[in-house]
Structure 1
Amino acid sequence: MGVQEQYPFDVAAVRDDFPILDRLVGGDPTSPGQDEADDVDLVYLDNAATSHTPDPVVDAIADYYRSYNSNVHRGIHQLSQEASVAYEEAHDVVADFIGANGREEVIFTKNTTEAMNLVAYAWGLEELGPGDNVVLTQMEHHASLVTWQQIGKKTGAEVRFIEVTDEGTLDMADAEAKIDDDTEMVSAVHVSNTLGTINPIRELAELAHDRDGLIFADAAQSVPNRPVDVADLDVDFLAFSGHKMCGPTGIGALYGREELLESMGPYLYGGEMIRKVTFEESTWEDLPWKFEAGTPSIAQGIGLAAAIEYLEEVGMERIEEHESLLAEYAHDRLTDLGGVEIYGPPGDDRGGLVAFNVEGVHAHDLSSVLNDYGVAIRAGDHCTQPLHDELGVAASARASFYLYNTVEEVDALVDAVREARDLFA
């Protein structure tokens, strides 16, 4: 059976919802006389950075602007009421999607980074102090690492890092040693955006809770492509971004256990998040609104809900299966190519991405050559500079897959990598 015959859903039908995938790329877009004959098919393999947006999601956003564009929670008129209902129901869609108890546990943010900062400042500044520690992993994205690092400097709390094994997995013996009775927070990436490692979040949660600590899961690379249930993971906080899961930019979500969110003060102050204001005092609105100051990202929230509904129609289990199929195929083909070093676990035990380097070729040069063949990948440190230091490399190339990618596109990647390898040999 060919790999294509193992697709868990009709990939061609899905691709029809993404017109951008039909683009031709090449030449100099600023040159009015470029030769279109030099253009090539786009092969988009940079989904861990940003995924594309299907027509139904674009239509939902456009319908808001065309039909009921208005501010929320501030008007009695019909448009404001319609916008308010749609925006509130978007919280319900997110809550159902991740297994939260209700909209009270879902805060809309700009992205995962803002969600991390919200907790770090609203909870961390109040709860952390000298003698406490926060435990991260060596594979953390800068959104987590830099945020807790800086909160540690402000509060005097120690920041510790669970080591990564040579196989690219967490050293759980080191985790048990690092997470102790002084640990107030464990913040761990669910799926590494560099190694593809799928971390044992529930096991880390058990270690944290046994010592009366909390756990924050960075789910930016897991919620978009696999079933995620906050109750099953037993997390206290979890965050993800809409632009990595067929949604618009400028929207993300923070899940927090209701009792924790109730105990925390606001991160931002101003309109929308208040209940009563006098010249001397202010009181806060109920959850989730007390954490959503000012005019929120209304269209983006509605777009995120539409993206979730689109993904659920395809099926999250099937999307996970499809990504795993492509990641394993890419891992095996790049390994067989020779002269390629791949980082992270084996191909059958990783998320839907492959980070690698080609012997004698800098990742930036490799990405430039691949671009000539229409293949879009990421090159750099992927916001994991300390992890790259541990790997002993300045940068890596990363191909990341999503529900609309195909085996033929992986073949195009491998062919282009071969050409680059031979070019620099």
Structure 2
Amino acid sequence: MHFYAARQPILDKHKKLFAYELLFRDSLDNVFPDIDGDEATSKMIEASQFTMGISELTGNKPAFINFTLETLSQGYPEMLTTEEVVIEILETVKPGKRLLALCKDLHQKGYTLALDDYEHQSVWAHFYPFISIIKIDIQQSDLAEIKQVIGAISAFPHIKLLAEKVETYEEYNQMLNLGFEYFQGYFFAKPEMMKTKSLSPSQMAMAELLYETSKTELDLNNITGVFERDVSLSYKLLRYANSAIFRRRSEISTIKQALVILGSAELKRFIGLMFAVNANPDKPSELINLAMTRAKFCEFVAQELPSKFDVSIAFLTGLLSMIDAILDEEMSIVLEKLPLSQDIKEPLLTKEGLMADVIKLVACIEHANWDNTNDIIEKLTLDKDKVIELYNQSLIWADEQTQAISE
């Protein structure tokens, strides 16, 4: 059985990763809502227990998972630990004595409960002592309705508000000012503002390295020269080449030695990740994680395509597909400043071609847009199960890389 789930990040008010919501589908041929909420939740729990652990998919962050009244009654939440899951009560569940008893019991056992797509009714006040998070779809609720909820929970300071479908920084700031603690949506993956700015000397050095490593034939002398001009980059390269993951028998002490031993593919990954991570330190770490996931996914898929594609180019193209959001500039302006090969620039600017389709594919999976996911997979003549497997592997790899870089 394959685990068909997209994860959507939930950030706190400081734009730090708090949790993920897991959005489950039975398969790409049987997309939601062709299966009901009970079956979707059941299969999610089954898959998380016997196919792929929740912690693997969420990088040990809590997972928001939807539950119906029936799946709550069946005790499915208790198949997961209190640290692994936030029990999200679907908006279709009606408030009543049975639900109230279940919420009280789960609360007493230490579980965190959230109300999904909340629309205020006075009867929900009976549930407030046991509810920790109320989720509001800000695209469906107007300001007056949101303020009504804020007023209703004012006597329950333990309840935190989560804004769903936050797509712009303006919406994020508006909800932040209203007192929301958590935010779900892709506002952080879009440019915050459009402005022209120059790259720092260190960023320019990394941009030059991106260009050098995007060539078919690497020029070790040119690459060595760039590293030698930047002490910080040289230190990071030597530290990376000597790290435990490579299990070297002897220490690497020179730039050229490190470049030769790492090899072309590993060097390209290192340069790409360094550029993404250091391009804008103020950006949410989840944005960098998203870029890394795309990079690895594009690399994986390039190996599966019927018409073979350079995996190193695929990796860098996926990584740079988020560079406009990382640098807060339009993609065309960013790419003008970066001396990259046309194989990387063209799909990012024109949104056409093989790699552009692969980037569209991973974006559809991120947003749980399963219909379009299916269409692109068929267009690329890829195996559906394999694509989902590669996406899950990319998530795990990106989480590991993010953790390693932050240490």
TM-score normalized by the length of structure 2: 0.25
* More helix, by proportion: 2
